[in-house]
Amino acid sequence: MPSNSDKVRLIFGLKVKHLRQDQRISLSDLATKSGLSVSYLNEIEKGKKYPKSEKIFALAKALDVDYDAMVSMKLSKKLEPIAELLNSNILSELPLEMMGLDAAGLLEMLSQAPSKVSAFISTIIEISRSYGMRVEQFYFSVLRSYQEMHDNHFEDIEQHAERFLAHFLPDAGIPNADFAESILTTRYGYRIERYTAQSHPDLTSLRSVLLPGAVPQLLINEQLSAEQQAFTLAREVGYQWLSIRNRSLESSVVEAESFDQVLNNFRASYFARAIQMPRRVMIERLDRFFQQTRWDETALPALLDEFRVTPEMLMLRMSNLLPSHFGIHQLFFLRFDHTVGSADFELVKEMHLSRLHDPHATSQEHNCRRWVSLTSLLELAELQKNGRWTRQPLCRAQVSDYYQTDNRYLVLTIAKPSPPKPGANSSITLGLAVDDVLRHRVKFLDDPALRHRIVNETCERCPIPDCLERVAAPTEWHKLQRKERLKTAVKQLQESNRLKI
C-alpha cells in the first residue's frame, strides 16, 4: 500500500502530467524545454521519481507555473478525488496484495489516466453516499470479492484446522458440544459467562463480547441457540490458534477499525466451521448426500443435528468444499431475513462463485416470490402463526429455470428462526448451476418429485403473464420495452432514408 513518499511522488507526477496535457505539450517537447530526458520525465509522471529542486525549477519554468504550485500537495479540482483516495484510510487498509496488486502497480495505474480514474472514484463515492454505505460495508464487499476470487476455499486454514484436530481430537471424530469451551478454559485460561437481557440490557443485539485481560472473559448472549453458542466458542478458539491479535472484540463488527479486522473475523470463522465440520467427514457426508437417487428433505437437517451447527454454517462449509473437492464451481450463497407478519424480505448476505449468478441483490426492487428462499420463509411463518411448526428447520429444494434464459439452478434452502432477534426468521440458500458436472455428481437431480419452477429476478423486471406471486408491476421491463421500440423505430427510419438515397 502506498507510503507517504509514494503519495508525494504520485501527486507530483500527476500534476506534471496534467499540466503538460492541458497545455498539449508532448513529453519530447517538455524534455526540450526543461532540459530533462524523456525517460526521466516518464518516470516522474508515473510517480516513480521525485526530482531535485533545480529540476523542479526547470519544470516549473517549462510549464509556466510557480515553483510553490509545483511542490504543493494540492491538486486541481479535477484530480481532487485521487488525492482524497490517497489520503484516505480505505486505501491504506485495502489488502492490495490479495487482489494481485502492489503499491507500484497501483500508482502506475492511477497515473495512466488520472482524469478517468478521478471520475470513476467520484462516481464510486457518490454511489456509496447515495446508498448510505459505511466503511464496514465497503470492507465486507472487498472481503466477498476476495472469497469469490479463491472459490471460498482457503487451504492454509483447512490445514490449521486439521493440525488442531489431530492435536486435541486424535480419534478423528466430530467435536462434542463442550469441546471448544473446554479448550478455551483449560488451554487459554478464559472465563465464559452467559448474559441475559436483565444482566446486560445494552448487549442484547450482540452475540458475544470479549473482555481482554490477564483472565480473558467471553460474554455470550444466552438467547443464542446451542449451535450459535458452540460456533462463537469455536471462533474464539480460532483467534487463539491462528494467533490473531488485530480483531474486533464484539461478535458483530460494530465499527471496523481496519480491513484486517474484517478479514481476521472471517479467518477465525472459517477455522471454527472447519473444526466443527472436519473436512474428511464432511466430504464423506456430502458424497453420500449427492449419491441419493431421490430428493430427501430430511438429509440436510440430519447433518445439522450430526454436526450441531446452524444452516448458515452448514451451507457455508459446503461452499468451501464443493469447488475444491467436487468440481462444482458455479454456485451462489444467499441469506434472507424475514420478520413474521412482514411482507418484506431482506437479502443480508450473498456470495457468487465463478460469476454473478441470476439471484442477486437488486436495490429497491422486489425479489421474485417464486424463489424457494422466500417461499420457505412464508411457509415457516404460516406454520408458526397456526401453531403447527414442529420446531424443526424447513428444508426445501427447487430446480429454478430463469424465464427466457438457459440458466437453470438446483436450489437448496433451509429456513428457521434467527435468534437472538425475536420474531425473526432466516433462510439460507445454496444454488448450484445445472451443468454437466452437477448432472454427474447429483444423482437425485432427475427425481420427478423435485419441484421445478420458472422464476425471474424481480417483479419489476419480469414479464411473466398472470403471475399469482407478483407483488409489484413490471415497471423496469416496460421501460426496457419502450427503449427497444425506440431503437427499432430509429433504425427503421435510418434504413428507409438510406434506401431513398
**Total count of domains within the chain:** 4
Whether 436 and 325 map to the same domain: the answer is yes
Whether 206 and 320 map to the same domain: the answer is no
Pairing type for strands 394-402 and 451-455 reads parallel
For 481, phi then psi, to 5°, come to: -65, -40
Domain-embedded: residue 63:
yes
Domain-embedded: residue 199:
yes
Whether 465 and 343 map to the same domain: the answer is yes
Report in angstroms the alpha-carbon separations of 232 from 178, 258, 300. 12, 21, 22
Closest by CA to 64, choosing from 23, 111, 31, is 23
Give the model's pLDDT for residue 421.
Answer: 79
Domain-embedded: residue 444:
yes
Which of 133, 164, 191 marks a domain boundary?
133
Whether 62 and 94 map to the same domain: the answer is yes
Domain-embedded: residue 495:
yes
In tens, the pLDDT along 63-80 reads: 999 988 888 877 776 666
Whether 271 and 284 map to the same domain: the answer is no
Closest by CA to 308, choosing from 381, 224, 246, 236, is 224
Whether 218 and 329 map to the same domain: the answer is no
Whether 312 and 436 map to the same domain: the answer is yes
Which of 108, 133, 158 marks a domain boundary?
133
Closest by CA to 222, choosing from 232, 212, 234, is 232
In tens, the pLDDT along 426-479 reads: 999 999 999 999 999 999 999 999 999 999 999 999 999 889 999 999 999 999
Whether 290 and 395 map to the same domain: the answer is yes
Q: What type of residue is 110?
A: L
The range of the structural domain enclosing residue 287 comes to: 280-470
Calpha distance 318→139 (Å, rounded): 24
Query: Edge to edge, what strands does the sheet with 451-455 contain?
Result: 346-353, 331-339, 424-433, 408-417, 394-402, 451-455
In tens, the pLDDT along 274-299 reads: 999 999 999 999 999 999 999 999 99
Whether 337 and 462 map to the same domain: the answer is yes
Are 231 and 205 in contact by the 8 Å Cβ rule? The answer is: no
- The helix-helix angle for 155-168 and 259-276 (nearest 10°) equals 50
For the chain, give the percent of residues with pLDDT over 70: 84
Calpha distance 425→83 (Å, rounded): 45
Long-range contacts of 486-495 (CB under 8 A, 24+ apart): none
Whether 459 and 310 map to the same domain: the answer is yes
Residue 48 has pLDDT above 80, yes or no: yes
Confidence category of residue 62, pLDDT binned at 50, 70, 90: very high
Q: Which residues contact 342 (CB under 8 A, 6 or more apart)?
A: none
Calpha distance 143→306 (Å, rounded): 30
Which of 216, 244, 276 marks a domain boundary?
276
